[in-house]
């Protein structure tokens, strides 16, 4: 079997995977479509223990109601339970999802939006088919096809999403100006030590935990992974927290640094789209 045979095999296998996936999605059988989403409410927030692991997130007690049966559940984020909860206050609403009929297999999500139609894997399989065809074209007809094949669709997609991305960055920059400032305090520094399996060296990851009370009285406990110059010695430090009044989960310590970061991000976004588009044009010219 020549390499074209392997290409046909590659495209056939992943094409079949994509077809099956899209078929399942149409029939409403994907895992995402069979997932039940409920709105959970944080009832209690535990105080993090200094030096403990940040892996499990802030200890919370959450209540939610199964929409199918109306049964109430009170659960905690013990063990592997979906997304890590890194900002918590009593009364905060978080997403809870689980396979239909199995509320005991619940997982948490930091958002309330539902999971979509489960098209991620089929689309990825379709991308692999496309990538195989582009590689074949590049080998048979020359490298410009690789540039055109990969950078062309990427540039089109980037250009399509660019206005929305720019609007989103501008909105975030505007939101920074509308943030409320309150005093906060670093109550603990969490520590995670890992050992490199290759050279045996250990690396330590430190996560300070801040608490602050919003102007409307919500007592927020949150992991603060950036903004503190010396995380190791930050326990007991008083800081000023700037938070978005409509969602205290969005907070920063240094507003100016955050503004610069978003502007830089916007520039990188625009330059990235331009570079990819230029690569696609080079591919077309070199054909």
Partner 1 sequence: MTITTGAPPPTHNLPVALARGFLTGGVVGTSLAALVVGGIVENASLFVTGLVLPVVYGLLWFLAGMPRRAREAAVVPRTALAVIESREAVGGETSEVPVRFELTVVPDDGPVYRVEITQDINLVDLADYRPRGVVVVQYPPDRPWRVRIVKRPTPEWEDRAASAQLDSVPGTATVAAPPQGCAFGFVVLLGLLLGVAAVLLAFRADLFDRDDTAKSPSAARPSVSSTSSTTIVSSASGTVALGRGQSFLDKGELDRALGSLTKGGDTRDKRQALTVVVQERLLSVVFSPAGTQTPGFDPRALPYGGFPALVEEATTTLGVRSPQTWQITADRLTGSLVIRVVVTGAEGTASLEADGQGKVVRRAPAR
Binding site for partner 1 (CB under 8 A): 1, 44, 46, 49-53, 55-56, 59, 61, 74-79, 99, 101-102, 104-105, 191-195, 202
Q: Which is nearer to partner 1, 186 or 273 (CB)?
A: 186
Q: Report in angstroms how near the CB of residue 61 gets to partner 1 at its nearest.
A: 6
Q: Report in angstroms how near the CB of residue 100 gets to partner 1 at its nearest.
A: 11
Q: Which of 169, 152, 196 is nearest to 285 (CA)?
A: 152
Q: Which is nearer to partner 1, 56 or 168 (CB)?
A: 56
| Torsion sign across C-alpha atoms 106, 30, 83, 81 | positive
Q: Report in angstroms how near the CB of residue 165 gets to partner 1 at its nearest.
A: 38
DSSP 227-284: S-S-GGG-TT-EEEEEEETTEEEEEES-HHHHHHHHHHHHHHHHHHHHHHHHHHHHHH
Q: Which is nearer to partner 1, 73 or 154 (CB)?
A: 73
Q: Which is nearer to partner 1, 44 or 171 (CB)?
A: 44
Q: Report in angstroms how near the CB of residue 37 gets to partner 1 at its nearest.
A: 18
Inter-residue contact 185 to 172 (CB < 8 Å): no
- The encoded tokens of residue 167 equal 């609007």
Q: Which is nearer to partner 1, 62 or 146 (CB)?
A: 62
Q: Which is nearer to partner 1, 157 or 192 (CB)?
A: 192
Q: Report in angstroms how near the CB of residue 41 gets to partner 1 at its nearest.
A: 14
Q: Report in angstroms how near the CB of residue 275 gets to partner 1 at its nearest.
A: 36
Inter-residue contact 53 to 192 (CB < 8 Å): yes
Measured CA to CA, the distance from residue 278 to residue 285 in angstroms comes to 10
Inter-residue contact 237 to 189 (CB < 8 Å): no
């Amino acid at each position: 079997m020549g390499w074209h045979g392997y290409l046909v095999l590659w495209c056939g296998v992943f094409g079949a995977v994509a077809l099956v996936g899209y078929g399942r999605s149409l029939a409403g059988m994907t895992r995402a479509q069979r997932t039940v989403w409920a709105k959970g409410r944080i009832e209690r927030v535990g105080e993090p223990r200094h030096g403990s692991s940040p892996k499990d997130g802030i200890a919370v007690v959450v209540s939610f109601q199964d929409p199918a049966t109306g049964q109430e559940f009170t659960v905690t984020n013990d063990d592997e339970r979906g997304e890590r909860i890194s900002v918590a206050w009593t009364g905060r609403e978080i997403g809870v999802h689980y396979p239909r009929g199995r509320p005991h297999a619940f997982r948490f999500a930091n958002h309330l939006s539902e999971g979509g139609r489960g098209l991620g894997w089929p689309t990825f399989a379709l991308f692999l088919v496309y990538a195989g065809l582009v590689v074949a074209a590049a080998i048979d007809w020359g490298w410009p096809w690789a540039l055109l094949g990969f950078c062309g669709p990427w540039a089109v997609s980037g250009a399509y999403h660019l206005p929305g991305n720019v609007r989103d960055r501008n909105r975030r920059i505007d939101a920074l100006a509308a943030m409320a400032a309150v005093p906060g305090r670093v109550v603990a520094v969490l520590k995670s030590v890992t050992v490199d399996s290759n050279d045996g060296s250990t690396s330590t990851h430190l996560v300070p935990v801040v608490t602050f009370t919003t102007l409307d009285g919500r007592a927020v406990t949150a992991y603060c992974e950036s903004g503190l110059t010396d995380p190791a010695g930050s326990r007991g430090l008083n800081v000023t927290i700037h938070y978005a009044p409509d969602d205290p989960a969005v907070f920063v310590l240094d507003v100016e640094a955050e503004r610069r970061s978003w502007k830089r991000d916007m520039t990188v976004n625009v330059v990235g789209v331009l570079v990819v588009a230029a690569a696609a044009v080079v591919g077309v010219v070199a054909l």
